[in-house]
Structure 1
């Protein structure tokens, strides 16, 4: 699997934004300690942009900038043969064709770990008026997951509650209720009862800051 396969499986930008907010909310409830969360979402990353992030704590990560111009996705698999750590530059083609409207994100200091070059093995983008996700022309090395896409974006390409539940049980080592996961993935409002199902040691009021940062909806969406 590569970014080309990922591009075919990603949803629209609004759907991706909703899913990323839901993942961040699930992590905030299941793991109150922010240091142990895989998924986060910041609605106020900049005056105009939002940021969805993943970090597994072992060097693998992604960043999704959601901007008025569209969305830019940067993924980094630290064990990928395409790692820029090899030559201090990204693998040929990974970011070469990123449109000018997203170019500043390629060079964003927060995505370079202070090394002076983008930490990226997989890159996709989609402008607000585009009908599909894009990636550069890349000659991939011979590997089953050369750019890390299969692992990095697994919860973005398969957005089922079952897949997240399996991950959460394994990673956080706690029981997780499938219906509660479905509730959050649908962006339905949280209640004290729902929070208690996912984490009996947590209350809804304790999540006030996370709710604001993630921009999780307080009221039901039409038809929900």
Structure 2
């Protein structure tokens, strides 16, 4: 939701409820060749990332090849995602990190990959914003990415799930179109507070629009 406000034309982070029947998809594409996808399937969660400049990129050799062990042990219930067309580039699953967690499993799993001390798969920075998860972390990311100040209180309001208010949107982007954001907010599960002049402190009042899932 924050990305949609800051850059409605090309948000870096996206969420698609019902990407497949009963399956949701969270994704990131920074436009510079790096990306990740997290698939939420009733069978479990499939997660992969691609850092195009890291040591273990499949492009390190020709023909392209995954780092040894990357997909070893991937369960049959989730293995088909490695061949999903949306995750292919020229018929190849470009990935430098891949982890999964079957429904009911006690922990995340990955293949038996091994790296030297000076080698990296890019996971640390690809998923750093998600693992930290704080408003301050997002502000730091957004200010660096968009090259301008980003209002911390407005970020807190969105991340806490407060109804999306005009003043919140304006605090984040003076050029954002509130009406155009309304259906996107509804799809992501955000209530929309569309009464002019209401502030960040006015929670739970105003017209509500809620989509199928939280964003």
Under TM normalisation by the shorter chain, which class is it? 0.7 to 0.9
Name which of 140, 163, 170 aligns with 1:189: 163
Q: CA RMSD in A?
A: 1.9
- Provide the residue aligned with 1:131 in structure 2: 106
Q: Which structure 2 segments of 5+ residues have no match?
A: 193-203, 205-209, 211-215
Residue correspondence of structure 1 range 49-68 to structure 2 within 5 A: 49-68=23-42
- Residue in structure 2 matching 1:110, options 67, 82, 86: 86
TM-score (norm 1): 0.79
SS in 2 for 1:126: strand
CA distance in 2, matches of 1:88, 1:209: 41
TM-score by length of 2: 0.82
Aligned partner of 1:140 in structure 2 is: 115
Q: Could you list the per-position Cα deviations for residues 127-177 of structure 1 after superposition, in whole angstroms to 9, with x for gaps in the alignment?
A: 221232211111224425x10011111111111111110111121123211
- Select the structure that is richer in strand: 2
Does the residue aligned with 2:22 lie in a helix, a strand or coil?
A: coil
Q: Which has the larger radius of gyration?
A: 2
Q: Please report how far the alpha carbon of residue 200 of structure 1 lies from its aligned counterpart in structure 2 after TM superposition.
A: 2.0
Contact 1:82-1:147 within 8 A present in 2 as well? yes
Q: Match of 1:149?
A: 123
CA–CA distance in structure 2, aligned partners of residues 217 and 128 of structure 1 = 27
Match of 2:94? 119
Q: 2: CA distance between counterparts of 1:53 and 1:141?
A: 28
1:82 Cα offset (Å): 1.1
Which one has a larger percent helix, Structure 1 or Structure 2?
Answer: 1
| Corresponding residue SS for 2:93 | coil
Greater relative contact order structure (CA < 8 Å, 6+ sep):
1
Deviation sequence 1:163-204 (CA, Å, 0-9, x none)? 110111121123211111111112222111211111122243
How many residue pairs get aligned? The number is 192
